[in-house]
Chain A
């Protein structure tokens, strides 16, 4: 199963999105939260994110969703830190909450890494009101 990493400046957001996506998709979904700093402060930590990617990978690769600003920069840096490791990683250009739910459902259904990435990115255009 493709793994998913949730990057947010807030560990509460990352943990909450993980719980929500797992509840909607499957309790077995491989989702790892990488939110906040090691001391719980608001921020992002590329080293923590790289460890989360490693943990989320079960051999089928990992899709990363990041919130605003430095969340994206830290996620990109984390992916570079893993360059020498044999892990397929995609950074999805997607909203974190809706994208994570869509990606988790796709992953739980057996989607491949590109399908999971697309599911996350397509969530961007989802309308909530008619």
Chain B
């Protein structure tokens, strides 16, 4: 599809900003109450620094990653920063995306987060939204689904993953200090990951 990567990033930023207090409240339960504020600050810088008119998706995502690294502050800075930068490598020079391109970019982003956080599924992190989302996306397009179909499946799986984080104890990140006491609380990172995918889905549907 033809797209404006800037517009898509701006929509992600708008959704993150709308949910700033919600994400921060989730983080207050099991973290240090800064996830929403940190992510909103990061995306405010992203929409300022990413050029509006450059169609190169890879370049825009690289700029997004670098900006998040230096503006977010908490763990989500290097985690989302790595995700966007790894996706950028896959999409360097691209001005439009196929369903397969998005699969490759999401695969690279998720692998980057796993590497950076030394985490895996089931540790009450953003990976509990992103890994199921990636699997659902890949399965849907393997069955002939479009980019938009794939994102529908990915978003549904991400929200199931977010709900799942309520049922498990954290073993990574700040919430791991709470151990079993983190059960019953929804992970803010998984939530912001689901919000991000939903913004991308909604952008593709115009």
Contact = CB atoms under 8 A, between A and B. Distances in A.
Interface of A: 37-38, 41-48, 69-70, 73-74, 76-77
Interface size class of B (residues with CB under 8 A): 10 to 19
Contacts of A47: 66, 69-70
Q: Is the interface of B mostly helix, strand, loop or mixed?
A: helix
Interface stretch (B5-13, B18-26, B78-86, B151-159): B78-86
Interface of B: 38, 66, 69-75, 77-79, 81-82, 116-117, 173-174
A6 to B, nearest CB: 17
Contacts of B70: 37-38, 45-48
Contacts of B78: 44, 46, 70, 73-74, 76-77
A31 B81 CA distance: 27
B173 to A, nearest CB: 7
Contacts of B174: 69
29 contacts: A37-B71, A41-B73, A42-B73, A43-B38, A43-B72, A43-B73, A43-B74, A43-B77, A44-B73, A44-B77, A45-B69, A45-B70, A45-B71, A46-B69, A46-B70, A46-B77, A46-B78, A47-B69, A48-B70, A69-B174, A70-B77, A73-B75, A73-B79, A73-B117, A74-B69, A74-B77, A76-B116, A77-B81, A77-B116
